[in-house]
Amino acid sequence: MDCTQTIPRRIAIGVHPQMPAAAEEAEGIAHFLHERGVEAYWGRMHDPSFRQKLESDTDLCIALGGDGTILRAGHLCAPLHIPILGINLGRFGFLTEVKRTEWRDMLPLLMEGRYWLEGRMMLQATHLREGNALGSWSVLNEVVICRGQFVRPVTLRAQVDGYPLATYIADGLIVSTPTGSTAYALAVGGPIMPPDLRNILIVAVAPHLSVDRAIILSEGSVVNVTVHTTHQAVFSVDGQPPVSMADGDEVRVEANHNTACFVRFGDRGYFYRNITNYMEQNPTAGETE
């Protein structure tokens, strides 16, 4: 679904539950919006009550935190067709739009409708065992199917639209959106994809005598990855806690009918400028946490 731009009058402010500074900042933003006639409330992103508020009557969500908070906001807001404005309180903040020191200058532009919306493709991942679905997840960045705590590769057989693609002996396999191409996939040598593309990226993690080139598929492709292993294997969606996989389990990945919509204030050429700056001055370099 395309992103629909409006002048927001009911704004939800979601904060990371383990960032005390985020709650204080959220209160300040809510007060700022109230003074300008905008209905605003804030809550912890992971609380069920916050989701209930989003579902009731919300025009826009402000996500306060780092990239993990933005991913959580995407999972919550995309099915509700609610745009997201990310304000960075973390270290990296590649998905955020506004710095912590900038929101007082940028929010008036939001309330005047002086912004544009960027739609980003999402995926749907389903865990299958003997043909039965055990769970399903929305994906904004990537699905990672990989070995567990034992430092031994696993065998991963990938199919596309029911046809064999490749067999990987590797630490893992990443199935990513264009948004995720600048996350884990980039760290293991995958290509950088513009965020407005609608493609599926497959890239192996530490392949051993296996296909070591990334593969880009069309939006309509369906990817099935089957695990063969005698030791632990897991998969994770957008960095969430891992889900254990048994020998013969599958993960099916396909395009999600939902689109995550992000508020942007700058020109549409921002993406490559930002990624160049991040690569030249990585804000996480030298961090120990």
Choose, from 2, 57, 59, 67, the residue flagged as catalytic.
Answer: 67
Question: Angle at the Cα of 104 (from 100 to 106), degrees rounded to 5?
Answer: 90
Q: Determine whether 67 is an active site residue.
A: yes
Alpha carbon distance 45, 145 (integer Å): 26
Helices vs strands, H then E, count in the chain: 6, 17
- The CA distance from 68 to 257, in Å, is 22
Nearest to 248 by CA among 141, 127, 161: 127
| Residue that has been written with the tokens 């513009």 in this structure | 194
Q: 232 by DSSP, 3-state: which? A: coil
Helix (H, G, I), strand (E, B) or coil at 56: helix
β partners of residue 147: 233
Active site residues: 67
